[in-house]
């Protein structure tokens, strides 16, 4: 898992060639590495935007406004869930539980930065802040 995280941090996603290189390095079957890549949705199996926004879609977040947050975010950015903006800056994805159910609804930015108690205003501020960081 650490190897996959490093590859993703460096390349933005885990290519099949990377899986094979990791398998070779660890002395494992390539299928064993691919099983890990495909089991956890934190690993990108295709290119994503500069900022990947994972909105939790599990039950506690679902009952605390997660679906509305996902809808607001997708509407603001003009993408469908799992879509990437035309400029390649943002990818929005529904996610499995992010382990912060008490802060529902939550979102994770680039697998690193947790955003708690998301409201439409907080989402708007976050997106604008990330856009400014991109410029």
Residues that bind ligand FES (CB under 6 A): 56, 58, 60-61, 97-101, 104, 106
* Cβ neighbours, 10 Å, residue 35: 11
Contacts of 8 (CB under 8 A, 6+ apart): 14, 43, 44, 111
**What counts of helices (H) and strands (E) characterise the chain?**
6, 4
By beta-carbon proximity to ligand FES, the closer residue of 88 and 102 is 102
By beta-carbon proximity to ligand FES, the closer residue of 21 and 101 is 101
Beta carbon of residue 11, minimum distance to ligand FES (angstroms, whole number): 27
Length of the chain: 135
Beta carbon of residue 40, minimum distance to ligand FES (angstroms, whole number): 15
By beta-carbon proximity to ligand FES, the closer residue of 56 and 73 is 56
Report d(CA 120, CA 135) in Å as an integer.
23
Beta carbon of residue 130, minimum distance to ligand FES (angstroms, whole number): 21
């Amino acid at each position: 898992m650490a190897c996959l995280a490093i590859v993703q941090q460096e390349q933005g996603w885990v290519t099949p060639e990377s899986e094979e290189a990791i398998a070779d390095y660890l002395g494992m079957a390539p299928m064993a590495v691919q099983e890990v890549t495909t089991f956890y949705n934190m690993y990108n199996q295709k290119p994503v935007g500069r900022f990947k926004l994972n909105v939790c879609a599990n039950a506690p977040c679902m009952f605390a406004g997660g679906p509305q947050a996902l809808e607001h975010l997708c509407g603001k950015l003009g993408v469908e869930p799992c879509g990437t903006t035309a400029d390649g800056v943002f990818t929005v994805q529904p996610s499995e539980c992010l382990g912060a159910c008490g802060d529902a609804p939550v979102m994770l930015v680039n697998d690193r930065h947790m955003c708690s108690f998301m409201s439409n205003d907080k989402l708007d501020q976050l997106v604008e802040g990330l856009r400014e960081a991109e410029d």
